[in-house]
Structure 1
Amino acid sequence: MEIANLKEEVSKLERILQNYNWCEMKITNKTILEKMSDHYQNLVHLQKMFDEKNYLNSKDFVNYYKELHQKLGIILSNKHLRIIAFHPKVVLKDNIKKVFQNYFRE
C-alpha cells in the first residue's frame, strides 16, 4: 500500500511542476535534505535583514540564494529564477517576490 501512495504522490508532484513549466534541476548532492535544514536558518536571517533594512540589493540577494542552493547541491538556472519571480502561483512574501523581479529588471 505504501508504494502505491508514493507513486500517487510522485505523480501529483510531477503534475504540479508541469503546471509551473518547471524544468528539471541538476541535484549534485545526495545528502540534500540534511544540508537544507542546516542552511535554512541562513536564508531566514538574510530575508529578515533584507525586510528590515533593505540591506542587500536584488542582485546580491538572488546571487546569495543561488549560491546557497548550489551548496546544497541544487543548480538553479535563470529559467528557474524567472519562474520564482514572475509565475503567479509561486507565492513568496511581497518584498521577496519583488527582489526576484528586480533582479531581472536591473
Structure 2
Amino acid sequence: ITEDWIVENRAQEAHAFHIHQIHFLVLLSPESSEVGMLRDTISIPAWDGKSTTYPQVRLRMDFRGKGSSIAGTFVYHCHILEHEDGGMMGSIEVLKKA
C-alpha cells in the first residue's frame, strides 16, 4: 500500500513533520534538495500570513514493508516538542489485506 500525502502548514511558524516506523519519499518540498530523498522527518516553512496558499510538502508513504504489507498504527507529529505537547499529532491505522 502506498499513499501520497500533502502536508500543509497553516501557521506562522515552521513545523517539522515526523512519522514513526517508516520513511517517506519526498515528492515536492520548498527545499528542492529534499525532493527524491527518503526521510522520516521534514521541515515545513511558516506561512507568511498573507498568501492565499500555504507552504506544503508532498510525500509518498510506503506501507508495503519488506515483501508484504505492514499492518499497525503509525504515529505522526510535529517534531517540535512544544507543538506535539499542544496536540499536533495523530495516527493512521493500516490494516492487513483480507
TM-score by length of 1: 0.25
Q: Normalized per residue, which structure has more strand?
A: 2
Larger radius of gyration: 1
Q: Normalized per residue, which structure has more helix?
A: 1
